């Protein structure tokens, strides 16, 4: 089982949140998100969390990683801001998953 974290929002709400859980595969994780009516902008693996932690203080490095996380360029700024402001929350959710 691997841990995954998704950044997005629940249907009917535009408040950006992150959801973390342990699952057998990335495909299974995404199916569970859809079943719970969660719209994911980006999905982060444990390995990607380490990468984000290393580039958190480098704005250009973080921007490059955000662009790799999602192809939805309209959400790049939102995801970038969320990671920059809520990384401690993301780490806590990933640890508790």
Residues 6+ apart with CB under 8 A from 32: 21, 23
pLDDT digits (tens, 9 = 90+) for 15-52: 999 999 999 999 999 999 988 899 999 999 999 999 99
- 9 in helix, strand or coil? strand
pLDDT digits (tens, 9 = 90+) for 45-97: 999 999 999 998 888 999 999 999 988 889 999 999 999 999 999 999 999 98
Residue ranges per structural domain of the chain: 2-96
């Amino acid at each position: 089982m691997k841990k995954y974290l998704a950044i997005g929002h629940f249907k009917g709400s535009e408040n950006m949140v992150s959801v973390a859980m342990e699952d057998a595969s990335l495909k299974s994780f995404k199916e569970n998100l859809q079943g719970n009516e969660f719209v994911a902008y980006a999905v982060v693996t444990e390995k990607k969390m380490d990468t984000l932690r290393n580039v958190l203080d480098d704005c250009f490095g973080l921007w490059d990683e955000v662009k790799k996380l999602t192809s939805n360029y309209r959400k790049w700024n939102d995801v970038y801001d969320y990671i920059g402001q809520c990384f401690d929350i993301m780490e806590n959710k990933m640890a508790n998953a």
